[in-house]
Amino acid sequence: MAEKPAILFRQLPSVDQLLRTAPPELTTRVGIERLTAYARSVIADLRLELRSGTTAGNGAQYSRETLLSEASQRLEHLCEMDQSSGLRPVINATGVILHTNLGRAPLSITAQRAVADASGYCTIEYDPVTGSRGKRGHRVEDLLKQLTGAEDALVVNNCASAALLVLTALARDGETIVSRGELVEIGGDFRVPDVLANSGTRMVEVGTTNRTRLDDYRKAITKDTRVVMRIHPSNYRIIGFTASPSLSELATLAHEMDLPLYEDAGSGVLNDLTRYGLRDEPVIRESIQSGADVVSFSGDKLLGSAQAGLLVGGSEVIGKLRRHSLYRALRADKLRLAALEATLDAHSRGTAVEDVPALKMLALTKEEIESRAIRIRNELRSIPELNVDLISGESAVGGGSGPSTHPPTILVGLTHPRLPADEIDRRLRGHSPPVIGRIAEDRLLLDLRTVPSVDEAELLLAVKGAFSLPA
């Protein structure tokens, strides 16, 4: 670098000067305080680059004008990054129905309206008939009791919270017996043994990774045993030489020993979904009928609503959970309860497969998806050099649900002679809203199973826009 850093430092714009050149909409979008912080950060970065001799900008001869221009570009880029880093809608074309990174189950239109209605003042703990204080979430609990056949129900903020509450209230300072093959780690480094430990219970592992017998549980029961626990394995399966007692067998043993049986059912389903290929998720009503004293399951997976930990079971056990001080810290807020109530209403009416997006997507046939894919292909044929293929493939349930369930689908495959798949992917992600697909064999694949019909026009706009840019 010919110029000395001290000389170049004097060419750097001041924070005020940089802010004066910023487009007015930046201040409106991010606020003057954050914009000022970004301006200071940009100038500090340029100063460090000048000091170290690294190239700033395009390597042009530095002057007040070139450095101000570079700083302005960087400031706008930071503001764009700020906006894109927050929550925003996307078009999920991955074919993963309960995509954890994309918010799992999308809410139904009815549930979205319910959340909007509850976002202001609402009857969260008020009875307008009597004019007195009401019970939080009472209708959600009533619907859960109706749909599962349980005596009572409770809602907390997620399924890990549900497990923590159950084990803290029922087994703290005692022992919880659980099969060794059920001590799993699922998404986000969540480990079941950690929840057990945080609850204050001592974990007693029985059986082996692949085979646990009823007698293994029986031999492990002592005067310190407080709970027998059964955990659904969520997003993994052990196949082959395996064995485990049925839930009803565990219930009989637990009740003989005057112990509660707790099932963490994971996703759980309210109705049998085997006709849609989902065969390995517990039906909650059947768990209650089999003798489980308390069952926990998720609200934002196959139920198709907002994130929540749903607890159903006997009135004595649920009452104990409700009275525990930890419940206050874990209870659900009004927006979560509003979404749950609207979604459970659909299940209660028997219209969940038509009304709840996650179940509607699961129920789509390959033929239905193919007819939509043909329409998309025909719309894209006018784009020069773009190759659009229809490929037989598989969707996924996702969210730790149905890991062995792969609904057949038709994928729209995009290739271009001068654009690799990762560049096509980058361009689609740059659309507003971003379009998220998947890459396989140097193709960008779009699975319409997870793209609502109302979003098809926006999807087409995104693809056409991606290929209107220079290669």
pLDDT at res. 2 = 47
User: Are both 285 and 190 inside the same structural domain?
Assistant: yes
User: Are both 173 and 41 inside the same structural domain?
Assistant: no
User: Using CA atoms, how far apart are residues 169 and 156, in angstroms rounded to an integer?
Assistant: 14
Strands 443-447 and 438-440: antiparallel
Tell me the backbone φ, ψ of residue 154, rounded to 5 degrees: -150, 150
User: Are both 200 and 286 inside the same structural domain?
Assistant: yes
User: Using CA atoms, how far apart are residues 261 and 258, in angstroms rounded to an integer?
Assistant: 10
Indicate whether 392 belongs to any domain.
yes
User: Are both 23 and 117 inside the same structural domain?
Assistant: no
User: Are both 368 and 345 inside the same structural domain?
Assistant: no
Specify which residues 393 forms β-bridges with.
409
Indicate whether 411 belongs to any domain.
yes
Q: Write the burial class of residue 247 (CB in 10 Å: 0-12 exposed, 13-18 middle, 19+ buried).
A: buried
Domain that holds residue 65: 5-84
Task: Report CA 170 to chain centroid distance, whole Å.
Answer: 29
Residue 200 three-state SS: coil
User: Are both 335 and 387 inside the same structural domain?
Assistant: no
> How crowded is residue 406: how many other Cβ atoms within 10 Å of its Cβ?
14
What is the full DSSP assignment across 242-277?
Answer: -B---HHHHHHHHHHTT--EEEE-TT-BSS--GGGT
pLDDT at res. 29 = 85
For the chain, the straight-line distance linking the first and the last C-alpha, in angstroms and rounded, comes to 34
User: Using CA atoms, how far apart are residues 193 and 202, in angstroms rounded to an integer?
Assistant: 10
Tokens 């659904």: give the residue. Answer: 232
Nearest by Cα to 444 from 388, 396, 401: 388
- Order of strands, edge to edge, in the sheet holding 202-206? 152-156, 309-313, 294-298, 261-264, 225-231, 175-179, 202-206
CATH of the domain at 116: 3.40.640.10
Q: How far is CA 382 from CA 360, 376, 379, 425, 467, in A?
A: 31, 11, 7, 20, 11
Indicate whether 471 belongs to any domain.
no
What total number of domains does the chain contain?
A: 3
Domain boundary among 335, 353, 371: 353
Cis peptide before 433 (omega within 30 of 0): yes
Strands 387-394 and 309-313: unpaired
Q: Which two tokens stand for residue 456?
A: 């098809």
Instruction: Tell me the average confidence (pLDDT) per consecutive run of 10 residues in the chain, 471 residues long.
Output: 63 90 87 92 89 59 83 90 83 96 96 97 94 93 98 95 95 93 63 78 86 91 96 64 82 96 91 86 94 96 96 98 96 97 97 96 97 96 94 91 86 96 95 95 96 96 89 63
* Amino acid at residue number 167: L
pLDDT at res. 58 = 46
Residue 433 three-state SS: coil
User: Are both 333 and 395 inside the same structural domain?
Assistant: no
User: Are both 242 and 346 inside the same structural domain?
Assistant: yes
Q: What is the tens place of the pLDDT at every residue in 227-266?
A: 999 988 765 555 555 668 899 999 999 999 999 999 999 8
User: Are both 305 and 418 inside the same structural domain?
Assistant: no
Q: Which two tokens stand for residue 251?
A: 């219930």
Nearest by Cα to 287 from 339, 332, 230, 235: 230
Indicate whether 149 belongs to any domain.
yes
Q: Which parts of 335-440 are beta strand (E)? A: 387-394, 408-415, 435-436, 438-440
| CA-angle at 387, arms to 384 and 391, nearest 5° | 155
User: For the whole model, what pTM was predicted?
Assistant: 0.87
pLDDT at res. 238 = 58
